[in-house]
């Protein structure tokens, strides 16, 4: 790559980038998600959800070879650490105690969305490395304290490490639509991409087949929880894409908003954001509505991996479901588990979805057969002394996360034989 021919542009809005160019570049990445689509990021901005008023000031950094977009990332200047799910409050406190400003900081992430995936879009590894260099140089020039690339893909992590960014690990819980055929000594599902074992693993044929793969106590607990919901007179219906009515979107938002308010906070996302999702990305959404006596009482919203129809990798797409939002207007025992786990997992089995990501944190998800996986972020701090201190902290934290993962993997919910 002739670096002298590459032009860096810092933009205040994703709307300044052609949507087709953005989505085409995204489709070339190893780990695209619907949350990095131009439509999604534009909806966050135009709906008032992620704006300077809410503490998310956009500075999309792009690299151009003539008029061709070759690299880009969604960068936000933050004056707080809410809505990120990779917690750095202690870092901010340490800066404050020493009279050094931590904010504004730069976050390369999808606001309010702790879903691992591509953050540094690039046409090749060289362009991705240039993008990281350009981000750090721009932050240094602008006196921004730090850069945080959250829930990054493997390609992003590798490039970040090569550019001397510090890595930080956390744990999420994901479910795979694979009936395990492992030796007795190993009860957990194989890592993604691992070769077949004992002739190959097959998808679950139905929910009972999935239950049969679990240890007896886990299977019994799930059946008890589902029975409680059914005995309370609750039934479910689902709608996907354009079949989700405006009334259902309105009802979902009532549930979503109420859940946030019950926890003492206004919701991150506005009603207008979901209106824009219904208008511009309907195929990416699946809605479950719980009803009792003919009236809706709760809902959960699931995202489904969906690339633009022009994406070159469409034929090779592997469907993934992402648990995102939920809320209820009535309290029913175990309703949360049914709406957010059992109904989505049953749908995934019925429709051949290969993975269901349960979101950030939540060790209780293991009892529902969501297994621990490592998620990684990358960090650059401009202040040398603080960078050195954080590097020492991350080394200790990483060791602890490694032990935690090992402990979790010994507690597989699946049968051991």
For residue 308, name the pLDDT band (cuts at 50, 70, 90): very low
The arithmetic mean of pLDDT across residues 177-205, rounded, is: 51
State the pLDDT at residue 180. 66
State the pLDDT at residue 312. 41
Q: What's the pLDDT tens digit per position in 37-86?
A: 999 999 999 999 999 999 999 999 999 999 999 999 999 999 999 999 99
State the pLDDT at residue 417. 58
Q: What's the pLDDT tens digit per position in 205-222?
A: 999 999 999 999 999 999
> pTM of the entire structure?
0.91
Residue from 172, 125, 174, 169 nearest 150 by CA: 169
State the pLDDT at residue 115. 96
| In the predicted structure, residue 35 carries a pLDDT above the cut 60 | yes
Q: What's the pLDDT tens digit per position in 252-287?
A: 999 999 999 999 999 999 999 999 999 999 999 999
Q: State percent of the chain over pLDDT 70.
A: 91
Bigger pLDDT: 417 vs 223: 223
State the pLDDT at residue 3. 56
Angle at 89 between CA 83 and CA 95, to 5 degrees: 130
State the pLDDT at residue 4. 61
Q: How far apart are CA 353 and CA 347, in angstroms?
A: 8
The arithmetic mean of pLDDT across residues 338-361, rounded, is: 93
* pLDDT mean across residues, the chain: 91
| In the predicted structure, residue 352 carries a pLDDT above the cut 50 | yes
State the pLDDT at residue 306. 60
For residue 362, name the pLDDT band (cuts at 50, 70, 90): confident
For residue 182, name the pLDDT band (cuts at 50, 70, 90): very low
State the pLDDT at residue 9. 97
Map out the domains of the chain with their CATH numbers.
3-164 (3.40.630.30), 214-353 (3.40.630.30)
Contact 29, 23 (CB under 8 A): no
The arithmetic mean of pLDDT across residues 376-383, rounded, is: 98
| In the predicted structure, residue 34 carries a pLDDT above the cut 50 | yes
State the pLDDT at residue 90. 96
| In the predicted structure, residue 12 carries a pLDDT above the cut 50 | yes
């Amino acid at each position: 790559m002739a670096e002298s021919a590459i032009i860096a542009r810092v933009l205040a809005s994703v709307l300044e980038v052609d949507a087709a160019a953005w989505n085409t570049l995204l489709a070339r990445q190893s780990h695209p998600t619907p949350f990095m689509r131009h439509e999604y990021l534009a909806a966050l901005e135009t709906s008032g959800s992620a704006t300077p008023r809410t503490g998310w000031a956009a500075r999309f950094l792009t690299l151009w070879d003539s008029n061709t977009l070759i690299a880009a990332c969604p960068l936000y200047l933050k004056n707080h650490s809410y809505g990120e799910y990779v917690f750095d409050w202690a870092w901010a406190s340490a800066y404050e105690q020493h009279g050094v400003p931590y904010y504004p900081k730069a976050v390369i992430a999808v606001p309010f969305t702790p879903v691992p995936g591509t953050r540094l879009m690039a046409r090749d590894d060289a362009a991705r490395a240039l993008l990281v260099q350009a981000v750090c140089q721009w932050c240094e020039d602008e006196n921004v304290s730090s850069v945080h690339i959250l829930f990054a893909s493997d390609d992003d992590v590798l490039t970040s490490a090569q550019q001397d960014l510090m890595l930080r690990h956390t744990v999420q819980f994901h479910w795979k639509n694979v009936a395990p055929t492992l030796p007795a000594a190993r009860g957990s599902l194989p890592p993604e991409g691992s070769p077949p074992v004992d002739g190959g693993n097959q998808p679950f044929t139905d929910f009972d087949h999935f239950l049969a793969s679990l240890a007896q106590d886990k299977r019994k607990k799930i059946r008890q929880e589902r029975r409680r919901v059914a005995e309370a007179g609750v039934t479910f219906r689902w709608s996907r894409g354009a079949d989700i009515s405006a009334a259902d979107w309105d009802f979902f938002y009532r549930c979503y908003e109420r859940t946030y308010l019950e926890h003492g906070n206004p919701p991150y996302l506005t009603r207008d954001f979901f209106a824009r999702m219904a208008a511009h990305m309907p195929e990416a959404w699946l809605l479950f509505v719980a009803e009792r006596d003919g009236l809706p009482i709760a809902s959960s919203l699931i995202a489904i991996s969906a690339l633009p129809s022009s994406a070159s990798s469409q034929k090779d797409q592997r469907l993934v479901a992402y648990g995102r939002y939920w809320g209820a207007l009535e309290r029913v025992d175990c309703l949360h588990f049914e709406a957010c786990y059992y109904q989505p997992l049953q749908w995934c089995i019925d429709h051949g979805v290969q993975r269901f990501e349960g979101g950030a944190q939540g060790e209780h998800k293991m009892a529902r057969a969501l297994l621990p996986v490592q998620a990684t972020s990358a960090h650059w701090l401009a202040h040398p002394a603080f960078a050195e201190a954080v590097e020492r902290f991350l080394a200790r934290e990483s060791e602890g996360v490694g032990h935690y993962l090992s402990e979790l993997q010994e507690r597989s919910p699946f049968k051991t034989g």
